[in-house]
Amino acid sequence: RGEDGTAIFAMSDQKDVALEIHVTNLPSDPAEPQRDGDDAHEAVLTATFPEELPYSAVPALCPQDKPVVCLANQNGSQVECELGNPLKRGAQVRFYLILSTLGITLQTTDLAVELALSTISEQPGLEPVVARARVVIELPLSVTGVAVPPRLFFGGVVRGESAVRRESQVGSAVRFEVTVSNRGQSLKTLGSAFLTLQWPHEISNGKWLLYPLQLELAAAPGSRASCSPAANPLLLALVGRWAGVGRW
């Protein structure tokens, strides 16, 4: 929960979330229980859900517990649950509603579920209750990298930047293959993930150490990927296709 007591829903790869419901029919004043707290006839809970979090199911309870019967509308935006006819004086009912998270997107920042009790018995001040939660998206991203070849040896004449015109003049090439993967579910919406790469750029005298010659991006179909700044800032003439860096 947050500092203000609001629940925080951290979403990663789960497809469902459980909403706990606790309904009581207790006297309003325990010191004078005889004043109220009668049986509640045709007691019903109506829950209304946002489109990002539709109703899915009610899980089975222990055999000794009385099952709660819930009936949902076609799109799962509302469900009515029968709590008892009557719901006895002093009774308590606890059950769970399973809600689907497939509608949650990167733009979803909070969720609100309205819970309303009704009964044909006299029950003054029976106001709806709103269950709120803030949404935090957690994507299980992983990054791996490998250098090909894993070892390099450099030598020869060190050229100044102004003397280099072609790819062949920057030295031996090394390819760094970096793979970013998402082991969780897709959010079915446009979103961005950023990867920052750092490498030894220059030596103490200002000469290039590793020069970014070319970048190749292989993304999933329908994905858009780009890099900034672009590789090959000196606009050297390229001979082959390299997705790595050279040295000079």
Tokens for 50, please give them: 């946002």
The size of the chain, in residues, is: 248
Average of per-residue pLDDT across 67-73:
91
Q: How far apart are CA 118 and CA 87, in angstroms?
A: 11
pTM of the model: 0.62
Confirm if 21 and 115 have CB atoms less than 8 A apart.
Answer: yes
- Supply the mean pLDDT for the chain: 81
Q: Where are the alpha helices (DSSP H) in the chain?
A: none
Residue 21 confidence (pLDDT): 93
> Cis omega before residue 149 (within 30°)?
yes
In CATH, the architecture of 7-137 is: Sandwich (2.60)
User: If you average pLDDT over residues 1-5, what whole number do you get?
Assistant: 69
Mean pLDDT: which of 6-10, 21-25, 192-196, 223-227 is highest? 21-25
Distance CA 10, CA 181 (A): 20
Q: Which residue has the higher pLDDT, 209 or 45?
A: 45
DSSP string, 10-36: EESS-SEEEEEEEEE---S-TTSGGGS
Q: How many Å apart are CA 218 and CA 190, to the nearest integer?
A: 18
pLDDT at 155: 67
> DSSP labels for 174-209?
EEEEEEEEE-S---SS------------B-TTS-BS
Q: CATH 2.60.40.1510 region(s) of the chain?
A: 7-137
Q: Which residue has the higher pLDDT, 208 or 47?
A: 47
Among residues of the chain, what percentage have pLDDT more than 70?
83
Greatest pairwise CA separation for the chain in angstroms: 99
189-219 pLDDT per residue, tens? 546 678 888 888 887 877 788 888 888 887 7
pLDDT of 23 over the 60 cut: yes
